[in-house]
Amino acid sequence: MVDATASRVALVTGAGSGIGKAAALALLADGWKVVLTGRREAPLQETAQQSGAADRALVVTSDVSDPASVRAVFDAAVSAFGRVDLLFNNAGIGAPAVPLEDLSVDDWRAVVDTNLSGMFYCIQNAFRVMKAQTPRGGRIINNGSISAHTPRPNSIAYTATKHAVMGLTKTASLDGRKYDIAVGQIDVGNAGTELAQRLTQGVMQAHGAVAEEPLMDVGIVGQSVLYMANLPLEANVMFHTVMATKMPFAGRG
């Protein structure tokens, strides 16, 4: 098991914005060393500088849809910090909100390559590193989204991949037991990120009407990730849902 008093090293994908940035800032504020990765360097550098703990942040650009790129970022983490105790498997994209019969094959494949295959590549490399390090083990937190449970209209690619993330979480949790690797999932609803601001202007509901939806502070999600990250490896939150209280998730519509 990982010694809680030892240097803690996290790797956060999609750390340049939104939920990934909030989680990275929360981890850095708590004393973690954090590898910030994503496709664009400038936002990652901004996260590092905003944290006030850039000396404990390592910026490495990567594309999670490319298995060689994923392996390289994990190798960079081990080279810089010696180990990886936490993977926040967060990077994801959406597709245009069009009727499913109009969704292009290219848009479908792009979402699957990032949200499903990319998440698998990250889990696979986390296992590679965590089972070989001393002390052995670590924790993986997958970003599932509320869409892992319930779809929005015109979201088949995103929703299908997020449902699949639940399968990744359950199977990796089972397969990680023998290596002291705990795997859980955070499902977020209506966090106040730049991408979610459109919800305040009105978004289509299940019955076809357009309605505004409330948001919550994205920092709350960062604190949720931090809570899960700081659990001892003898305990695991397999599924954690954090959402704006008044968003239309439970119920009929």
> Which residues are catalytically annotated?
158, 162
CA gap 188, 47 in Å, rounded: 21
Residue 59 CB coordination number (10 Å): 21
What are the Cα distances from residue 44, in Å, to 18, 33, 178, 186, 251?
A: 11, 14, 34, 22, 38
